[in-house]
A and B are shown apart, each in its own frame.
Chain A
């Protein structure tokens, strides 16, 4: 079965360190998204990609970057982790065109100490 997986599921890191969260999907979807989930804010879009070599900033992109070198993967990098980036991160994917379904990974809980 096709799926979307995130790793690690949990991570603790120190302020100032670079951290990369992995997202891998086997749906062969062109669209991939990164969201963060915080209490009181719901899910907010960080970055997204509509295909290989395409990346775009979402509404809360400061301090984050992504790269898309193949269809399956969209790693999210925190350049210099800050305590404000402690959150649960979700990766999602969908087919091209009008989004009628978007599938999410299991989430990564990141704690910056």
Chain B
């Protein structure tokens, strides 16, 4: 069964550093998403992406965040200057259409020191 893959599985970074999280969505999916889950809290939407542009973003997704589809397979989330409160599990997801079920990758655990 095709799946969404994410790398790395765990990223440890110093506060203030830039970090890039990588995702390979399912190949025939057109819509891509990033979510985050702070330990012990609910999953929160960050951003959706379609046709090489952001469709929607949440209040969390401020100027420190950006997304990119640099080639035909990868979808990345960049955090420019990380803060302690960015520590969380980051999940990438993809779907065929925006109203269809989303399939999640197994996440990147981001730890900011």
Say if A and B assemble together.
no
Interface residues, chain B, CB within 8 Å of chain A? none
